[in-house]
Every structure is written in structure tokens, then in C-alpha cells.
Structure 1
């Protein structure tokens, strides 16, 4: 009788372990942190970098779509660095205390990275830092603009400046000739 009870308990324990064994030895996927969008995130002290991604039409220039969040009360002067075909490029920005500075949104100014020489589907290294804090290198995904949700975020060319007339001292402008009727004799 004791053997039957012991065998029943062992069978029940084996059945319970077999049915639910994966949850005992595997970590829960819901506890793993991940970036729930196309971009990547990072934190440098009080500066959060959120949803950073690059959108490119040609693999040479890309619109840097990103939000920088200052979690502190004082303004943060930060830098964004990358290495392009012409060498290292460093840009300086400021975000006010408890504020957000975004680039690339349809209503925000674009930050166009030149000379990236990277095709869509690749990861492009961008370094963010400020003050004496250790910066973070982000491997930013480069996406094409063929998807409809990204078409309006593609890098745009800066308008070509129009030449303006220059006043040169001593030079006077002569009036333009006007059409007149032929002189009569």
C-alpha cells in the first residue's frame, strides 16, 4: 500500500513537472527589456535617447530621427558624433531642463547626417555624450524610405541660396531700356 501511495505521489510530481517544467527553468520573456519600435534607446546620466533611427534614400545621407529627453532640472549641452566619408563629424545641441528635443518628426527640424556611406538594413554607429559623463555608442538602424510611414521623414535637400545683388560703391545702376516706337521722319 505504501508503495502504491509513493508511486502515485512520484507520478503526480513527474506529471506536474513535465507539464509546467518550462516555466520553472526558463526566464519569462515579459521581463526582458527591449526597444518596442524600429529605433534604439540609450541613457547617458540624465539624458535619455529614444527611438533613434536613420532614414536614407541613397545610403549617403540620412535623416536622424530621434528624441533627447532631459530628466534633470538644468539644461544639458550634449554632442552627437559620427564618422562620415569626410572624417569625424561632431554636432552640439542643448535641451532645457525637464524637456524634450526631437529631430526628424514632420513638425521638427531635420538633422541630416552626410557621408554615411551605409545602405538600408545596416547599423550605423552614433556616439552621444555630455559633460564629463561616459557617453554611449548607439548602433542606429538605417532604414529606407519606401514604407509609407517614413516617406515624409526622408532627408530633404537644403534650399539653394539665391544670389543677392551687391551694392558696389561708385557703381550706379542704369535704367533698363524700354520699348519705344520708331522715330518718325
Structure 2
């Protein structure tokens, strides 16, 4: 009887070891941190850069720097990104990251998109980038270069010749339209009040 119990325990232990043995010698992929989209994630001293990528403009010569930033430090943070091609610095982009969550690169967003020119960069390739926050060491990553082939990135493909001046001109136009609309509403209200009296 004791022999049967001992052999049952031995068989159960062998089965349990056989079923879980892979995790003893092979790394578990689910424990590895990874970016769940096409971009890459970078963390620099409490500043998180999420889903970072470069999206080519219509000419294919300039690239929109697209990423989400999470700043929980309680103060604005300065971030500089140096892009290199074949070991030499080709472009530099600087950002002031507000507190909270901010999306960069969206032409319809609050932050003006920043374009960089990197000779030799092509959609489907990667570009080396060095991230530096004031007072911190540089962090190097390879950034994917994309275009508007995938529908989710078409809004980030900027027109050829896009500039900050274009954005400001568009913003002024929208402000003027809003002002005209509010004036029209105010005049309509005044006329309605006069007719009632």
C-alpha cells in the first residue's frame, strides 16, 4: 500500500514537472516589455514616450515625428531627439512636454507637428535616435519609418511644404471663423430680443 502511494506521488510529480518544465529553461515571452503597436516605447527619468515613429510626408523626404508622451513629474519637461543616418547626426527635434498625456505629430491636435529631414531614410526602415532629457544621459533606440500605406497613419502624412506658418495661418483662419460665428449668433439674439419687445 505504501509503495502504491509513493509511486502515485512520484508519477504526479513527474507529470507536474513535465507540464511546467519548459518555463524552467525557456524565457517567458509574456514577461518581456514591448510596444504593442508599430512604434517603440522609451522611458527617460519619469518621462514616458509611447509609440514613437516617423511618418513620411507626401514628398517622402521629410518625416513627421509622431509619439504620445506621459509626463507625471508635475512640471514641463524638455526632450531633445537626435536622429542619425549612417552614424552621423542628420536631424534634431526639440519638444516641451506638458504635464499629463500629450500627442505629438497630429496635425489636428494642440501641438504643432515637427518635421525632420533625414537623408537616406525610407518607409519600412529604421533610423537610430538618441533621446535626451535635460540633466539625463542619452538613450538610444531604433525608430521605425512609416508612410500612409496603413490607414491608421494617413492623417499623419503631412503635405509637401508643410510648415509651422501653415498651421498658424490655419489656426488664425479658424479663430476668425469662430469669431464671425459668435458675432452672428450675438446679432441674431439681439434682433430676437428687439422683436419680442
| Fold in common (TM above 0.5) | yes
d(CA) in 2 for partners of 1:144, 1:159:
16
Q: 1:123 aligns with which of 123, 126, 134?
A: 126
Cα separation, partners in 2 of 1:104 and 1:15, compared to 1, 3 Å:
same
d(CA) in 1 for partners of 2:156, 2:48:
22
Q: How many residues align?
A: 160
d(CA) in 1 for partners of 2:47, 2:162:
32
Please, what TM-score do these two structures have when normalized by structure 1? Answer: 0.70
Given that residues 63 and 113 in structure 1 are in contact (C-alpha distance below 8 angstroms), is that contact kept between their aligned partners in structure 2?
yes
Match of 2:62 in 1: 61
Task: Flag structure 1 segments of 5+ consecutive residues without an equivalent.
Answer: 162-185
d(CA) in 2 for partners of 1:78, 1:24:
41
d(CA) in 1 for partners of 2:124, 2:162:
29
Which structure has greater helix proportion?
A: 2
Cα separation, partners in 2 of 1:40 and 1:10, compared to 1, 3 Å:
same
Please, what TM-score do these two structures have when normalized by structure 2? Answer: 0.66
Match of 2:116 in 1: 113
d(CA) in 2 for partners of 1:130, 1:49:
11
Match of 2:42 in 1: 42
Cα separation, partners in 2 of 1:159 and 1:106, compared to 1, 3 Å:
closer
Using the TM superposition, give the Cα deviation of residue 119 of structure 1 relative to its aligned residue in structure 2, in angstroms.
Answer: 2.0
